[in-house]
Amino acid sequence: MDIRANTDIKRVEPLRQNSKNQQVSREFQTIMQEALSQTTDCKELKISNHAQKRLDQRGFSLEGEDMSNLSQAMDELDDKGSKNSLLFYKDMALIASIDNRTIITALNQNELDTVMNIDSTKFIKD
């Protein structure tokens, strides 16, 4: 068996990006970062004016950790397709729009009687 080296092998130079490709890449990166920041902003939990009045009337307040717990619960409900939910958190009963990520109203748990137009209920542990 005769094995010979191929003498026609050519050296391959690495691909170099020109400045136009680098600029497009930076523009794409900027657009992606803006889109991601808008997505993050959309995840912010809101409290309607009505709900804030009800919280104030009942002496409830929602601090940073509370908002984080509620937001996490809304993420779970959103993943399961919920639209409007009754959230039990601490001594509060909160009606929330999952799509809008908004607390619509707040009650004491002992004030509950009949709740309509919800498709889910979540008990949130603090």
**Structural domain spans, the chain:** 45-124
- The whole-angstrom separation of Cα 23 and Cα 41 is 27
pLDDT band for position 28 (cuts 50, 70, 90) = confident
**Do residues 77 and 123 touch, judged by C-beta distance below 8 A?**
no
pLDDT at 19 over 70: no
Sign of the C-alpha dihedral, residues 72, 77, 79, 83? negative
For 43, residues 6+ apart whose C-beta sits below 8 A from its C-beta are 71, 75, 101
Q: Where are the alpha helices (DSSP H) in 15-110?
A: 19-42, 49-57, 64-79
pLDDT band for position 51 (cuts 50, 70, 90) = very high
pLDDT value at position 96? 97
Provide the percentage of residues in the chain whose pLDDT is more than 90: 57
